[in-house]
Chain A
Amino acid sequence: MTITMPPKRLSKLALQVLACTSCALLAQSAQSHTDSSPATSSTKASTHQPQTTVNGALQVTYRTDDSTSQNLWQIPGILLGGEAHGYERGPALDSANLTIRHVHDNGLYGVIEIGSHSHDGEAEVEFEEVLVGYHLPLPEQNATAVFEAGHLNARFSPFNHQHANEKASSEDHLAYAAFFGGHFTDNGLRAHLTHDSGWTLGIEAWQGNEYPGDGTHAAVDGYVHYELNQDKWKTNAGIWAFQTQSEVRTDQRQTGHSHGTPAKTDTSSVQYGGDSVVFGAFAQLDWNFAEDWHWQTEAEWLAYSERGDIRDESRLAGLKGDYTAGRIYSALRYNKQQIGVQYERLSLKNHLSGSAGPLIAASAGLLNPGQDPEKTTISYNWFAHQNLLVRLEWIYNRTELQSNPYAALGLVWHSRLY
């Protein structure tokens, strides 16, 4: 859900936002010691005390090189879409979020989250979430039911839409960039049931407007999560499944058209029609193994299948795509210092049937020479203030099959503003 905003030059915007951030940080620094986490929708809506809160979060990053060698990021071997994008050299506003949440005393609540991010030198403002929810305690069952409707971030995995200060890296997870165009957000309904034992069952139904859908069919997902917090351990694990269908899905990141020769990848004229099914499993662990020492690790595995056909103006080929993605992150934190390593990898298997297969695979960017796209991120985080994180990263990006290491220096700020 995008709202109109005149495009601004990236660096100018980043500097403006940075200036605003600095002011806000100074203003809030003395009084914002009570809320160090960003507001999320359902997880923070469990109280029935009437309350309105406003939270802000911001991430700006300076990168020493472009993450992609082309104008448009194209991982060889998979159709991309949504908001999947590479990262540009120089300063960038990775994300800016303002979240307004009101909880009514009868269990009703509403959330509006406005977000902005920039790429290709332009910034746009979006309603990340606009929802109303109802929180229903079920004391006899030792459980809580939550119902939400509106424009929602999917909750099948906690990694689908993390705020900047929650993420292991300044950049989108590779799996979500490749499979969901960054993250999955759509108009829909959500119901989930959380038991006091830590189990959560959830189901979400979507209009299917957003990638990997195309608005012609609904989407649905379901998930089972288990969360267990003990004295020094915090764990969260889950499995989930997502399904949608499309008929004429295009890569809407592009506005151009076929530039001719088959060797030139230009997916703008390619349409995919068929099923898209994703299965996922994840686990998170935070272990406070000694005073001021934390070991944090995350792992996630996604399996994505596409069964359908791809076509351009004059050709049609059957597509059977089987893709898997894995990510593992581990970090060691001592007091305000944290060092982390993240490794992400995709395995992209395509089989195209029909005589148009080779030609349309070339034009659609589905040719993979047998090398798994991968990305390694080594990060150093300094929690300079409870609202401010300084992040230094070295990123070795081989998603286009060529090594492209670069460094990134970023600031992540978040605070409760009201």
Chain B
Amino acid sequence: MLYSRLIFALLGTVLLTACSGGSKTSFDAPEVSSTGYPWPVPSNIPLPIEPEDNPMSEEKFQLGRHLFYDNRLSGNGSQSCASCHHQDKAFTDGLTVSVGSTGQKLARNAQSLINVAYNATLTWANPSLSTLEQQAIIPIFGEDPVEQGINDENRERILAEFAADSDYQKLFQAAFPTQADPVSYANIVKGIASFVRGIITFNSPADRFERGDASALTPAAQRGRTLFFSESLECFHCHGGYNFSDSTLDSATTFVERPFHNTGLFNINGTGDFPEDNTGIFEITGDPGDMGKFRAVSLRNIADTAPYMHDGSINTLDDVIDFYAAGGRVIETGALAGDGRLNPFKDGFVSGFQITQGEKADLIAFLQSLSDPEIKRSPRFANPHTSTQPQ
């Protein structure tokens, strides 16, 4: 029996040494994914992508903050980026649709800028617009609609004003220290993109709950969370993930998806059409199947960003839930009449559901828990021209 004893002794030794206290999960050294910018991002969330030609820096962030709030960055000196993106409204404007510097109404509702650094695409419906640098050009120089209204006639004058401002001279120099003449529209765009990219929060009650703080959500919000992530309501399919949008891109993303969805807001004449000036990515692709498809926005601070939908046509979260519960919107009269529930291009997840008043209240409680109140008052993101101590 020597063999048996030897075998057991050997196996026992192996068991004791090999199966004790060794469990662990490790990752590549943090510096692999770190950057020179102090991103306020928890360790379980990937960092945003920084464009190679515009890496983040605190100096560019501060330059961008000044420009973002400066009305001089418009053709008639009446409007800045902040005119449509108010910090106290989670960087929206509270209007159905925004209004440009010349008074022209835009076709769409102003989106929140919170965590847009993680957007796979920018704006409501443009699959090709994937960086904030590309996007920032549109409101500054766009001609239809006119937003800030900088054009060939006024661009040199406006740039000269910034170049002559001693504060901006310092800000531009600090942001682009290797450039001899850093005051340029290219750097204005980079600065604004850097500021907007830096508007980051992962500190809502819902975030804290997910990080293990069970007390961060009220019982009602916890019930609402269960509903939100349920197969019956389907919310999470388009508004899931850490940024509550399926159109999310970060430094850890390998396979990029840029989804868009038709939610059944319209079905003009039963043909699936949306209003002519607001047809979603159909405007870009020309593909009939893309009619009425828009990007699923992040739901961060969603309670602060009414009215809702791409056209601002739904006023409250309560109404938004009713809309999704119905599986689309019915417009009975007028030029836009049609049963959106039957829109042939509608997303399959917008199929309608039953919900009680109590459940709706719970769901709203959860949606409210997605708000970080601090980001609406943080001096770091505030207007530096009125703040005495920029952060």
Which A positions have Cβ atoms within 8 angstroms of B?
Answer: 77, 226, 228, 230, 233, 235, 237, 256-264, 281-283, 285, 297, 299-301, 303, 311, 313-317, 324-328, 345-362, 366-368, 370-373
Given that A237-B7, A314-B257 are known contacts, is A358 also in contact with B22, CB under 8 Å in the complex? no
A324 pairs with B18, CB closer than 8 A: yes
Given that A315-B253, A347-B23, A367-B25 are known contacts, is A260 also in contact with B44, CB under 8 Å in the complex? no
Interface contact tally, CB-CB below 8 A:
171
Within the assembled complex, what's the spacing in Å between the Cα atoms of A353 and B30?
11
Within the assembled complex, what's the spacing in Å between the Cα atoms of A257 and B237?
9
Minimal beta-carbon separation of A178 from chain B (angstroms): 12
Within the assembled complex, what's the spacing in Å between the Cα atoms of A350 and B22?
10
How many residues on B have C-beta within 8 angstroms of the other chain's C-beta atoms? 50
For chain B residues 12-36, which have a beta carbon within 8 Å of chain A? 12, 14-16, 18-28, 32-33
B44 pairs with A299, CB closer than 8 A: no
Which B positions have Cβ atoms within 8 angstroms of A?
Answer: 1, 3-4, 7-8, 11-12, 14-16, 18-28, 32-33, 43-47, 206, 210-212, 229, 231, 236-237, 239-242, 244, 248-249, 251-257
Q: Which residues of B contact A316 (CB under 8 A)?
A: 254-255
B8 pairs with A347, CB closer than 8 A: no
Within the assembled complex, what's the spacing in Å between the Cα atoms of A350 and B237?
29
Minimal beta-carbon separation of A72 from chain B (angstroms): 15
Cβ-closest chain A residue relative to B251:
A355
B24 pairs with A349, CB closer than 8 A: yes
The contact of A351 among B27, B45, B257, by CB within 8 Å, is B27
Q: Which residues of A contact B240 (CB under 8 A)?
A: 258-261
The contact of A228 among B3, B248, B253, by CB within 8 Å, is B3
B211 pairs with A263, CB closer than 8 A: yes
Within the assembled complex, what's the spacing in Å between the Cα atoms of A1 and B153?
76
Cβ-closest chain A residue relative to B228:
A260
The contact of B23 among A263, A351, A356, A371, by CB within 8 Å, is A371
Within the assembled complex, what's the spacing in Å between the Cα atoms of A358 and B254?
14
Q: List 14 A-B contacts (CB under 8 A).
A: A233-B1, A235-B4, A262-B44, A283-B11, A285-B8, A299-B8, A300-B11, A301-B18, A314-B257, A324-B22, A348-B25, A350-B26, A355-B47, A372-B23
A328 pairs with B255, CB closer than 8 A: no
Minimal beta-carbon separation of A259 from chain B (angstroms): 5
Assuming A228-B4, A260-B242, A353-B27, what are 19 further A-B pairs, CB within 8 angstroms? A230-B1, A233-B4, A262-B242, A282-B11, A283-B7, A283-B11, A299-B15, A301-B15, A301-B19, A314-B256, A314-B257, A347-B22, A347-B23, A350-B26, A352-B26, A355-B46, A359-B45, A360-B252, A362-B44
